[in-house]
């Protein structure tokens, strides 16, 4: 009853102080020959009813849904709830409770980390729903206020700063790795975050490797932002740290063999122990630290990897060392998939804490990493992030000139 009252009063406030001024602005735009003020949209409520609603005609996710607060007054919607689904996106008779204008799915979708899929995220929300969790969704939604509706193109590959990366979902990325093993093929997989893009400008050899790589995954919220800047819609933020649990499930289920190569001595053993506790049937068939003499001792390490009969090799030397090592030694490696994973082992060995989920959901994991290792990370993030965005902007202008 109290929640209902709070929702009622909040919706009234939103309608009066946000929706009404917005309507005035859109009407002025309309008067001067601009676009229509409203767009029609039908939403799924439950198996027997739909909601015919109007949205403001703007690209901003939260601004365009302002008229929906009138349906909170009438009791058809919640402010916070399971995700609000356009009728055309519903394929089966789902029971997802009363939908909310704001939802945990929407926050994860904006930051491209809705890996589990909409249904599972909604079901998880309904299972764990509490006033505290709803309040957190509200706070996270306020922090993501500038998000825009995905009206951009969603191509299979995206060219950013001269690198063509795969614009795929997390499950499609895993499928690609799995297919490589099942078909006994041999492939390299790399991730690129904004820091990696910056490194292209300092290291010709690294650039040459990445330019000819077929399997590059987009890593991090910075790449998501860059894609929005160039008018492309990223499907998922496919980063190694988020991928690992799914990869382990896949390795476990298919009885593949995993080799961990990289990080300081002792780290891979800790990681192996942690993973085997969590995934009892996982086969980690070998480990090796990343501080051997790469010039003179690579043969010994490759021999260990080959003898272990690994299918999937994770190489964690950091960018671009790992990419260069994989390229140089790929022909000697008897594996199916070599994946460059950067600092991943430090997280999963328990050596380095990972950012809390709310920070990841907001796409600010880098802030946490900066707090953890300010001396090492300030250059990467404080200088590197704006530099990356500036480079994207300049590159976009150049691309536009070429295309016109």
Q: Where does this chain bind ligand UDP (CB under 6 A)? A: 262-264, 290-291, 316-319, 321, 342-343, 345-346
Dihedral of CA atoms 292, 297, 302, 307 in degrees, nearest 10, equals -100
Q: Smallest gap, in angstroms, from Cβ of residue 2 to ligand UDP?
A: 46
φ, ψ (nearest 5 deg) of residue 16: -75, -45
Between residues 308 and 349, which has the closer beta carbon with respect to ligand UDP? 349
Question: What does the alpha-carbon distance between residue 283 and residue 208 come to, in Å, rounded to a whole number?
Answer: 34
Q: Smallest gap, in angstroms, from Cβ of residue 320 to ligand UDP?
A: 8
Q: For 95-239, where are the alpha helices, taking DSSP H only? A: 104-110, 118-128, 131-143, 170-182, 194-200, 204-211, 221-229
Question: What does the alpha-carbon distance between residue 246 and residue 236 come to, in Å, rounded to a whole number?
Answer: 14
Between residues 197 and 345, which has the closer beta carbon with respect to ligand UDP? 345
Per-position DSSP letters for 305-343, written without gaps between them: HHHHT-SEEEEES-TTHHHHHHHHHGGG---SEEEE-TT
Between residues 7 and 346, which has the closer beta carbon with respect to ligand UDP? 346
Q: Smallest gap, in angstroms, from Cβ of residue 377 to ligand UDP?
A: 9
Least Cα distance to 109 among 75, 78, 83 occurs for: 83
Tokens 């691309």 map to which residue? 399
Between residues 104 and 267, which has the closer beta carbon with respect to ligand UDP? 267
Between residues 83 and 221, which has the closer beta carbon with respect to ligand UDP? 221
Tokens 């988020």 map to which residue? 242
Q: Smallest gap, in angstroms, from Cβ of residue 343 to ligand UDP?
A: 3
In DSSP terms, which residues pair with 362 in a beta bridge? none
Q: Smallest gap, in angstroms, from Cβ of residue 315 to ligand UDP?
A: 9
Between residues 217 and 317, which has the closer beta carbon with respect to ligand UDP? 317
Question: What does the alpha-carbon distance between residue 193 and residue 330 come to, in Å, rounded to a whole number?
Answer: 23
Q: Smallest gap, in angstroms, from Cβ of residue 223 to ligand UDP?
A: 14
């Amino acid at each position: 009853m109290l929640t209902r009252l709070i929702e009622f009063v909040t919706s009234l406030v939103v309608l009066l102080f946000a929706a009404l001024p917005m309507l005035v602005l859109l009407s002025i735009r309309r008067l001067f020959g601009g676009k229509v003020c409203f767009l029609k949209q039908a939403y799924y409520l439950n198996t027997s009813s739909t909601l015919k609603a109007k949205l403001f005609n703007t690209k901003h996710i939260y601004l365009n849904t302002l008229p929906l607060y009138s349906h909170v007054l009438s009791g058809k919607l919640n402010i916070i709830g399971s995700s609000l689904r356009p009728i055309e996106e519903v394929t089966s008779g789902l029971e997802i409770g009363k939908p909310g204008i704001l939802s945990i799915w929407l926050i994860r979708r904006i930051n491209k980390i809705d890996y589990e899929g909409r249904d599972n995220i909604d079901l998880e929300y309904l299972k764990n729903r509490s006033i505290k969790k709803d309040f957190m969704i509200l706070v996270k939604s306020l922090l993501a206020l500038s998000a825009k509706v995905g009206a951009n193109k969603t191509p299979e590959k995206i060219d950013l700063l001269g690198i063509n990366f795969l614009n795929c979902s997390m499950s499609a990325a895993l499928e690609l790795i799995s297919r490589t093993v099942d078909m006994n093929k041999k492939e390299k997989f790399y991730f690129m975050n904004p820091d990696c893009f910056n490194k292209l400008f300092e290291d010709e050899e690294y650039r040459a490797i990445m330019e000819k790589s077929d399997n590059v995954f987009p890593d991090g919220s910075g790449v998501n932002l860059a894609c929005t800047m160039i008018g492309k819609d990223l499907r998922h933020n496919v980063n190694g740290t988020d991928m690992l649990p799914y990869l382990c499930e896949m390795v476990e289920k298919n009885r593949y063999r995993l080799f961990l190569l990289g990080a300081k001595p002792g780290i891979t053993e800790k990681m192996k122990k942690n993973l085997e506790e969590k995934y009892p049937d996982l086969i980690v068939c070998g480990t090796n630290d990343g501080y051997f003499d790469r010039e003179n001792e690579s043969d010994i390490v490759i021999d260990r990897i080959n003898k272990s009969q690994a299918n999937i090799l994770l190489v964690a030397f950091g960018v671009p060392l790992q990419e260069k090592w994989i390229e140089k030694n790929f022909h000697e490696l008897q594996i199916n998939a070599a994946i460059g994973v950067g600092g991943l082992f430090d997280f999963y060995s328990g050596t380095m804490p990972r950012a809390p989920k709310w920070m990841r959901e907001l796409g600010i994991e880098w802030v946490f990493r900066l707090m953890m290792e300010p001396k090492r990370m300030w250059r990467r993030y404080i200088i590197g992030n704006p530099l990356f965005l500036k480079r994207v902007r300049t590159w976009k202008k150049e691309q536009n000139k070429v295309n016109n």
